[in-house]
Amino acid sequence: MNKGLTQYMLTADYIVGLVDGEGSFTAYIRDEAKPVKRKRRAKAEPKFFLKLVEKDKVILEALQKFFGCGNVYFQKDTRRNHQNCYRFEVTSRKDLKEVIIPFFQQNPLRVPSKRRDFDIFCRLFARIENGDHFTKNGLRRLHLLKEQMH
């Protein structure tokens, strides 16, 4: 039974722990060397997301309220023994730059592999902000950097 957002006054420590366990910093980087089945408009799409089972949606809504950005989406899962989920996702470069990245720079992740992915994500993001994804060489370098992520 959901008790509403007011019960979930999130702290920075709680969010760090939640993201350490369930969050992801990633980026879609087009690999120009591979044939494309379905061409996406963007060549580079950084994103931060967190996925929880359907009954925990209220936590994702509280996270959205805490950050003041992002969206919560339903994610159906048809695999056997899996539950439907909800996903909190931030894809806006402005929100990533002004809200998400500064938060995790001030409140470092504790899991070493997650912290490493965040560091790589920040480097990817800076290169995307510089327009590296607009050149073949830049896109190749972004792709190589992305491959270092977990």
* CATH code, domain carrying 132: 3.10.28.10
pTM for the predicted model, two decimal places: 0.86
Pairing of β 85-90 and β 44-53: antiparallel
96-140 pLDDT, tens digit each: 999 999 999 999 999 999 999 999 999 999 999 999 988 888 888
Dmax over CA atoms of the chain, in Å, equals 52
Residue 32's domain comprises 5-146
Do residues 10 and 62 touch, judged by C-beta distance below 8 A?
yes
Written as six digits, the tokens of 76 are 């159906």
User: Which of 135, 100, 142 is closest to 120 using CA atoms?
Assistant: 142
Residues of the chain with pLDDT under 70: 1-8, 32-42, 79, 81
Do residues 140 and 29 touch, judged by C-beta distance below 8 A?
no
Please state the domain count of the chain. 1
